[in-house]
């Protein structure tokens, strides 16, 4: 199996190094951290990271012209892409974080504030187990309840057909979505120890077989 | 279900990981990167790396050391010490840091909490509260001046939550390095007045201290430093003992869920016939 060329999209926000640390730990050597069109179009898999607030992240993408680049590479060239946390939320139509803002609109849905009973604290931070609803290249062992690290105050509301796993925090939270070549996870696989490494491995194995 | 978090604190003073006793006495432990690597391998849930000398010496965070230290961790790392600008946080995000702890910068300039949480999101901004008991009340404590402030930690906690802090890192100065157990009264007081996660810290001496504090307060995360450096198999043992009453995450190959412990939380020897069987048991290492 050939090792894929992986590009982590650099748009000024996000914990890029955490992700590249985790991926290089698995032995992948061709990892770019880049916002360059040629590097992005010439890679086999993309990671859209994200830590922070929705509006400045979207603004940064636009300022760098990356919204157009990504639309072309993801929607037309159909490169597999994995959005992490805010990177997943950017794939929605809109987000209501600090006012209503438009996202990339790749997977129909809206990002809304966690609306939960008072005794549950927000942000939803810590290790929570997910329930896998559908078979997906992201999860190899789909019969287990896996723990992943979450840290977010908003979540992705979308149609059930896009949801591949959810987790429970007094309400159901969409924890992973997929549509064609587009994947997103609300949790942080790069910070979820072995379960996170397994997820990256499954994703890149799928990419290598494409 | 959300798991109770067990967090390891690595205190750094002048580039060396240290043990702290009551914020006054410090003993050297070693290289921070090694301490972090071990905590990660033992299955800690999160790590807080706190540089206690940066602000005192008026230095920015030691980015080189931090970058080196985060390399071997696949659990979230929160960094504290010397942060007083948006640029610092930006650079830290590029050093493998996931969250930041603000202490002095938030105390001096509370609007910095608001400013930084607008840019990086609340989930990224942790505010640290050092608290000390003065008479029958708790007061905030200024670790630079080594003195208490005439300010109630509860009021401050409510204020930092309003300003956009995503978590509160609550330290008891009295219990620091004392091994007397967590200050459950302080933890409850703060926890019951805010709606953001609180991390209790200070005083952990035995694994029982963790499970008792999780039972008697509503806190979702407890942190400690010394116990992880001076108590063998501490992460695994603490998780095994806490798991009797609470849900914890266990991602390591071995756990001590079936083991028995003495009153101090040390492992009891297994029976001879079990040890005999273990001798011939082959455990395959999973290659991810």
> Could you give the 3-state DSSP secondary structure of residue B96?
coil
> Does the beta carbon of B285 lie under 8 angstroms from any beta carbon of chain A?
no
Q: Higher pLDDT residue, A121 or A34?
A: A34
Cα–Cα distance between B279 and B123 in angstroms, integer? 46
Confidence band for A51, pLDDT divided at 50, 70 and 90: confident
Residue range A138-145: average pLDDT?
A: 75
CATH number listed for the domain at residues A6-209: 3.40.50.880
Closest alpha carbon to A20 in A65, A74, A105, A84: A84
Please give the pLDDT value at position A142.
Answer: 59
Mean pLDDT of chain B: 92
Which chain A residues have a beta carbon less than 8 Å from that of B119? 52-53, 56
Q: Which pTM does this prediction carry?
A: 0.93
Give the helix ranges, DSSP H, for chain A: 16-25, 37-41, 54-63, 66-70, 86-89, 193-209
CATH code (residue B103) = 3.20.20.70
> Does the beta carbon of A13 lie under 8 angstroms from any beta carbon of chain B?
yes
Please give the pLDDT value at position B21.
Answer: 82
Phi and psi at residue B24, in whole multiples of 5°? Answer: -125, -35
Cα–Cα distance between B1 and A126 in angstroms, integer? 10
Residue range B18-43: average pLDDT?
A: 91
Give the CA dihedral B60, B62, B67, B70, nearest 10 degrees: -100
Q: Higher pLDDT residue, B76 or A51?
A: B76
**How many structural domains comprise chain B?**
1
Cα–Cα distance between B200 and B48 in angstroms, integer? 12
Q: In B, residues 219-248, which contact A (CB 8 Å cutoff)?
A: 220-221
Mark whether A188 is an active-site residue. Answer: yes
Confidence band for B229, pLDDT divided at 50, 70 and 90: confident
Is pLDDT of A141 > 70?
A: no
Residue range A102-120: average pLDDT?
A: 91
Cβ distance A192 to B74 less than 8 Å, yes or no, reads yes
> Does the beta carbon of B181 lie under 8 angstroms from any beta carbon of chain A?
no
Mark whether A124 is an active-site residue. Answer: no
Confidence band for A30, pLDDT divided at 50, 70 and 90: very high
Confidence band for B4, pLDDT divided at 50, 70 and 90: very high
Is pLDDT of B62 > 90?
A: yes
Which chain A residues have a beta carbon less than 8 Å from that of B115? none
Please give the pLDDT value at position B266.
Answer: 85
H/E stretch holding B114 reads: helix B111-120
CA dihedral over B189, B144, B136, B48, signed as positive or negative: positive
Q: Which residues of B are catalytic?
A: 130
> Does the beta carbon of B57 lie under 8 angstroms from any beta carbon of chain A?
no
Please give the pLDDT value at position B274.
Answer: 87
Q: What is the CA radius of gyration of chain A?
A: 16
Confidence band for B175, pLDDT divided at 50, 70 and 90: very high
Please give the pLDDT value at position A1.
Answer: 65
Which chain B residues have a beta carbon less than 8 Å from that of A128? 1-3
Residue range B2-26: average pLDDT?
A: 92
> Each residue of B91-135: pLDDT tens digit?
998 898 999 999 999 999 999 999 999 888 888 999 999 999 999
Shortest distance between the Cα of A4 and any Cα of chain B, in A, equals 16
Residue range B188-209: average pLDDT?
A: 95
> Each residue of A143-183: pLDDT tens digit?
677 999 999 989 999 999 999 999 999 999 999 999 999 99
Query: Does a structural domain hold residue B286?
Result: no
Q: In A, residues 78-117, which contact B (CB 8 Å cutoff)?
A: 86, 98
Please give the pLDDT value at position A184.
Answer: 97
Domain assignment of residue B94, given as a range: 5-279
Please give the pLDDT value at position A143.
Answer: 63
Query: Does a structural domain hold residue B288?
Result: no
Q: Find the residue in A nearest to B248 (Cα).
A: A127
> Each residue of B124-168: pLDDT tens digit?
999 999 999 999 999 999 988 889 999 999 999 999 999 999 999
Please give the C-alpha separations between residue B56 and each of A129, B36, B104, B174, in angstroms, as whole numbers. 41, 23, 10, 21
């Amino acid at each position: 199996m050939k090792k894929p060329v992986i590009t982590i999209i650099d748009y000024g926000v996000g914990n890029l190094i955490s992700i590249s640390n985790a991926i290089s730990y698995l032995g992948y050597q061709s990892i770019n951290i880049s916002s360059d069109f040629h590097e992005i179009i010439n890679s086999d898999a993309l990671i859209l990271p994200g830590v922070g607030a929705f509006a400045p992240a979207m603004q940064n993408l636009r300022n760098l012209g990356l919204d157009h680049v990504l639309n072309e590479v993801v929607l037309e060239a159909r490169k597999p892409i994995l959005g992490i946390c805010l990177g997943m939320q950017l794939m929605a139509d809109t987000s209501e974080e600090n006012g209503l803002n438009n996202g990339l609109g790749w997977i129909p849905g809206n990002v809304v504030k966690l609306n939960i009973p008072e005794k549950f604290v927000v942000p939803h931070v810590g290790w929570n187990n997910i329930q896998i609803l559908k078979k997906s290249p992201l999860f190899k062992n789909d019969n287990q309840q896996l723990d992943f690290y979450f840290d977010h105050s908003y979540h992705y509301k979308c149609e059930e057909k896009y949801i591949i796993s959810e987790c429970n925090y007094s309400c159901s939270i969409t924890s992973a979505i997929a549509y064609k070549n587009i994947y997103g996870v609300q949790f942080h696989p790069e910070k979820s120890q072995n379960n996170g490494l397994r997820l990256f491995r499954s994703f890149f194995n799928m990419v290598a077989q494409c | 279900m959300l798991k109770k978090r067990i967090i390891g604190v690595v205190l750094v003073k002048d580039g060396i990981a240290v043990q702290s006793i009551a914020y006054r006495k410090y003993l050297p432990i070693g290289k921070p990167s090694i301490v972090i690597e071990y905590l990660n391998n033992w299955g800690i849930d999160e790590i807080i790396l706190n540089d206690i000398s940066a602000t005192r010496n008026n230095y920015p965070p030691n980015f080189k050391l931090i970058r080196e230290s985060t390399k071997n961790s696949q659990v979230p790392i929160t960094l504290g010490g010397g942060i007083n600008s948006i640029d610092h946080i930006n650079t830290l995000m590029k050093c493998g840091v996931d969250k930041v702890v603000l202490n002095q910068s938030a105390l001096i300039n509370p609007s910095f909490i608001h400013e930084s949480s607008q840019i990086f999101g609340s989930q990224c901004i942790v505010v640290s509260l050092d608290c000390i008991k003065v008479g029958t009340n708790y007061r905030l404590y200024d670790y630079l001046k080594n003195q208490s402030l005439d300010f109630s930690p509860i009021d401050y906690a409510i204020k930092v939550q309003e300003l956009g802090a995503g978590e509160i890192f609550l330290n008891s100065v009295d219990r620091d390095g004392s091994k007397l157990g967590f200050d459950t009264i302080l933890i409850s007081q703060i926890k019951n007045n805010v709606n953001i996660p609180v991390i209790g810290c200070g005083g952990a001496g035995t694994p029982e201290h963790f499970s008792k504090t999780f039972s008697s307060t509503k806190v979702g995360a407890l942190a400690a430093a010394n116990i992880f450096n001076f108590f063998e198999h501490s992460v695994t043992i603490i998780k095994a003992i806490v798991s009797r009453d609470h849900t914890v995450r266990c991602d390591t190959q071995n756990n001590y869920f079936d083991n028995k412990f003495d009153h101090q939380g040390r492992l009891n020897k297994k029976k001879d016939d079990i040890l005999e069987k273990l001798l011939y048991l082959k455990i395959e290492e999973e290659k991810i």
